Chains A and B, each alone.
Chain A
Amino acid sequence: MQIKSRVHGGVLYVLLCGELDEHSATYTRITLDEIFDKPDFNKIVIDLSELSFMDSTGIGVLIGRYKRMKDKSISIYIANPSAHAEKIFKMTGLYDIMPKIV
């Protein structure tokens, strides 16, 4: 897992590159929390265009980040999910808390 981020116009864009499974979950969690803790944005977009694999561990990681940011009233959006990731998101209702943006 490789995580890239940039802030543009008050929006934090995060790009997840690689595979999100139990093996990469801890690194992903810690790295996202570090990036999310910076105070220079009011909205987060997680771009999944470079995510080559994800299983239900990814749902746990995303819901965990949602709960942390909810306390700060910062909403998170999902961009460019694969058809496969989308299937898992719809199954779990993730879009109800992290809407997809186009």
Chain B
Amino acid sequence: MKYSNFMEVTFKALSVNEGFARVCVASFCVQLNPSVDEITDIKTAVSEAVTNCVVHAYPSSVKGDVILRCELEDDLVTITVTDKGVGIKDVEKAREPFYTSKPSEERSGMGFTVMESFMDDVRVASNSFGTSVKMTKKISQACEQVVG
């Protein structure tokens, strides 16, 4: 391993922070020289994971924290989005396309499916103390100076 870097931010689970989270990760990843498509894929996956913390993790009006971590190891981007909310009882079911626990709110139930198709790998760990979504993506033409 030649290159290694990370950043971590914590913010309140409010929808106004979704745009912030996307831009934050995108600007951090720029050092790997990703393509516009790769950046858009990453922004979309981050948006899905953060939106889930905003919409599902904290059902009471008291909103908790979202911890957004982005690690770079050579040409590999790893993004972890963690909340300390209610958790997901059946992760396998939650990941099914079109499954949503809030159909009355016009949710599509496609959040996890979008994350899976825009990233190389998506892992979900959840219990009654919260949820953590870990996603990885390889940057195809990662910056020469960075990766060597």
A positions within 8 Å CB-CB of B: 19, 21-23, 29, 53, 55-57, 59-61, 63-64, 83-84, 87-88, 91-92
Contacts and interface: CB of A to CB of B under 8 A. Distances in A.
A60 B108 contact: yes
B114 A56 contact: yes
Nearest to A23: B15
A21 B108 contact: no
B16 interface: yes
B107 interface: yes
Contact of B44 (A22, A55, A63): A55
B106 A63 contact: yes
Size band of the B side of the interface?
Answer: 20 to 34
Contact of B47 (A55, A64, A91, A92): A55
Interface of B: 15-16, 18-19, 22, 37, 40-41, 43-44, 47-48, 51, 54-55, 105-108, 110-111, 113-114, 117
Chain A interface SS verdict (over half):
helix
Contacts of A57: 51, 107-108
Interface centre among A22, A53, A87, A92 (most CB of B within 10 A): A22
Between A53, A56, A59, A91, the greatest number of chain B beta carbons within 10 A of the residue's beta carbon is seen for: A56
Closest 4 CB pairs of A and B: A23-B15, A64-B106, A59-B108, A56-B110
B106 A21 contact: no
B43 A60 contact: no
A92 B51 contact: no
A55 B40 CA distance: 10
B51 A88 contact: no
B81 to A, nearest CB: 13
Given A22-B54, A53-B43, A59 B110 contact: yes
A55 B109 CA distance: 11
A63 to B, nearest CB: 7
Contacts of B113: 56, 91-92
